[in-house]
Amino acid sequence: MNSSRTPPPREKIRLQKVLASAGLGSRRACEVLIDEGRVEVNGRIVLEQGVRVDPYRDTIRVDGETLRPPRRRRYYAVNKPVGVVCTHNDPQGRRRVIDLVPGGDKLFPIGRLDRSSGGLILLTDDGDFANALAHPRYGVEKTYRVRVAGRPAMKELSKLVRGIHLAEGFAKAESVRIKQRYAQSTELEIVLREGRNREIRRMLARLGHKVQQLRRVAIGPLRLGKDLPTGAYRELTADEVRSLRRASSGSASRKSTSRRRKSRSGQRSGKADRPTPRAGSRFPVAARRSGPVLNLVTDEEKR
């Protein structure tokens, strides 16, 4: 089943922003064009600032020349099945996540989920948007449901929060929670702010617990709902795109603030910032998260 619902109405944009995006100058310079009566929208001269337009539907002219509408960016949420790859070019000819969306060859995935993992992944043709969500410096939270072999104790799992050394460097989870225990396995919720290749699998392997099932259930504020079954896709709403942009800018702002605080603290104490402590050192077990803790276990899942 493909969930390709009708795209939501687009938000109108200030006229001067549309003109600036078309390369007609700074926003201030474009405001002057409007003041001088040189801009028409749907055949009417605009003299007021702040008029909002739809650049895809409205006809906009400057000095009598029609502006070409900008290329409409595409944003999709996909519930990736296990066995589907995220690479754009696959020499082995396996099914790719971009094959799940019509016209997907012009899209690319934001980040990766390995072939053995499933769940939420975003596809887009907007490079800036993709970079803001995927780059570690922005620290957008990704939430995973992980089923592991055995029954690890919380004390053992806390090592993931303190940090574990992998081949390419120090890796740590933002938070870890035990969601459900079974006879011979345990279901966890793990939140990361960065995503190395097979990071969760390798971190848990260091603790001696093999991952049996892994799926991503959230990226920032966007959650995988029951309206998007495995293998389905849907276009993101304008509100969802804005919410994801805010999440990336908010995370970057928190990181910047944290660095400034550490710098000021180091200056007051006369000490430079210390390196990240090694695994096994004395380090707070509980991870701090902004906002309330969200319980993602439903009654159906518990049964």
**CA distance readout (Å), 48 to 37, 68, 168, 271, 276:** 9, 22, 56, 56, 55
The counts of H helices and E strands in the chain are 7, 17
**Catalytic site residue from 114, 125, 239, 273:** 114
């519930």: which residue's tokens? 79
Distance CA 301, CA 303 (A): 5
SS3 53: strand
Q: What is the 3-state secondary structure (H, E, C) of 117-162?
A: CEEEEEEECCHHHHHHHHCHHHCCCEEEEEEEECCCCHHHHHHHHH
In this structure, are residues 120 and 112 in contact, taking their beta carbons and an 8 Å threshold? no
CA count, 13 A, side-chain hemisphere, 105: 2
114 has catalytic annotation: yes
Tokens in use for 11?
């938000």
Would you say the C-alpha torsion 261, 143, 204, 188 has a positive or negative sign?
positive
DSSP class of residue 215 equals E
Active-site positions? Answer: 114
